[in-house]
Amino acid sequence: METKNADLSALRINRSAEPTAPSGSRTWVWVAVATGAALLVAALLVWRGTFRSAVEVRLAPATMVTPGHSGALLVASGYIVAQRKAAVASKGTGRLVYLGVVEGARVRAGQVIARLEDSDVRAQLSQARANLQLSQADLHNVERSLARARVLRDSGFTSSATVDSAEARYLQVKSGIAVAQALVEGAEVALENTVIRAPFDGTVLTKNADVGEVVAPLAASAFSKAAVVTIADLRSLQAEADVSESNLEGVRVGQECEIVLDAYPEQRYPGQVAMIVPTADRAKATVQVKVAFRSLDPRVLPEMSAKVHFLPLELQATGSDTQPRLTVPASAVAERDGRSVVYIVASGRAAEVAVTAGKRLGGSVTILQGLAAGALVIDSVGDRVRPGAKVTVRKESSK
């Protein structure tokens, strides 16, 4: 009871006796707090740079393009075709004994390309000539007989019937001579048919038969060949493109074009619409358009794949600019601190490349300096694409 009634005032804390911290230790505390905050911010920055998600980008190549190419009304695909082409075959049947050309050889009109075995034809020609000589000898005899019969008739020593018989024999022999001459000509033609000649100036594209094989018109059997070689006049090469019926109104004869071959994508060949074939392909709903080259290039070969760019009227009026220029998509060029830049991917990160941009061509921008043809740049540059930003390249789905 005495404890309960004790004076609790004696338990009060004497705050006046609390020690005072020195000023130097307080400064150390603030330094420690600031250092910890700085380390925390640095760790946060490292974490964001290392673990944040990469920017998904799509790459686009820097390509050489002409102004006419970029301003084309429409583009149609097709092939290079020789307008003058022939599969040269023999008119006769026989074994090939001589072939004087190979693929790529140039031939002149009338040049001997190949020969067939001709011993049997030569024998027939010799026989026909011998028959002709025999008929000519008979003609000499009947002419003399007819002359004697006429003299005897005039002298009264023979009858008119004898003269008539001599005249009939004379006419018969003359007809035989005509037949013999025709047989000689036929044998000469047969001999000429064993010689295969070039029908026009051109280049041998393919060799379809070899020495020792039997050739025949239209390949009469499974063991014979029809064409010996295929030749074409490379001066008649044209691009044949299929144009959709819905786009045909934008094409006319004489229209300026650019021909681009898949084999030489950086080369632009100026051309002109030579013909619009007056029929349509019902299955494909297209019309074939033939485009002639303005100048020939020996590198252009038949059956090469090609794309034809049909140019609008404004480019035709000023003449098509065929000088290629380096271009990238307009969305690949960004402005950073007053400079034109593009971004490439190096080691999984975006690297900035300063460029000198030129004028715009359609959806592309010409690059005057700072970039090489074929370089892959990031398309559709956004705010997240910065120097050093982690990127991942989007893979295009294959169809």
The domain ranges of the chain are 55-68+324-393, 87-116+197-231, 118-193, 233-311
pLDDT per position as a tens digit, 126-178: 999 999 999 888 888 888 888 888 888 888 888 888 888 888 888 888 888 99
The arrangement of strands across the sheet holding 339-346 comes to 334-336, 339-346, 349-354
Q: How far apart are CA 122 and CA 118, in angstroms?
A: 6
CATH code, 118-193? 1.10.287
Average pLDDT in the chain: 83
**pLDDT mean by block of 10 residues, the chain; 399 residues:** 48 50 58 70 54 78 70 84 92 90 94 93 92 89 87 83 86 89 92 92 92 79 74 95 91 91 88 94 94 92 93 58 77 90 91 89 83 89 87 69
User: Helix 119-155 to helix 160-192 angle, to the nearest 10 degrees?
Assistant: 160
Residue bearing tokens 């190549």:
61
Q: How far apart are CA 224 and CA 226, in angstroms?
A: 7
User: What is the biggest distance separating any 2 CA atoms in the chain, rounded to whole angstroms?
Assistant: 207
Q: How far apart are CA 104 and CA 142, in angstroms?
A: 60
Q: What is the pLDDT at residue 98?
A: 95
Q: What is the pLDDT at residue 15?
A: 52
Q: How far apart are CA 246 and CA 308, in angstroms?
A: 17
In the CATH scheme, what architecture does the domain 55-68+324-393 have?
Beta Barrel (2.40)
Q: What is the pLDDT at residue 22?
A: 52
Vertex 300 angle, CA 89 and 90, to 5°: 5
Contact call for residues 72 and 364 (beta carbons, < 8 A): no
The matching CATH number, chosen from 3.30.930.10, 3.40.50.300, 2.40.50.100, 1.25.40.10, for 87-116+197-231 is 2.40.50.100
Contact call for residues 227 and 268 (beta carbons, < 8 A): no
The matching CATH number, chosen from 2.40.37.20, 1.10.4030.10, 3.40.1030.10, 2.40.30.170, for 233-311 is 2.40.30.170
Q: For the CA atoms of the chain, what is the radius of gyration?
A: 47
Q: What is the pLDDT at residue 267?
A: 84
Q: What is the pLDDT at residue 29?
A: 62
- Do the domains 87-116+197-231 and 118-193 sit in the same CATH topology, yes or no? no
Rounding to the nearest 10 degrees, give the CA dihedral for residues 289, 201, 122, 181: 80
Contact call for residues 93 and 215 (beta carbons, < 8 A): yes
- Whole-prediction pTM: 0.58
Q: How far apart are CA 114 and CA 194, in angstroms?
A: 8
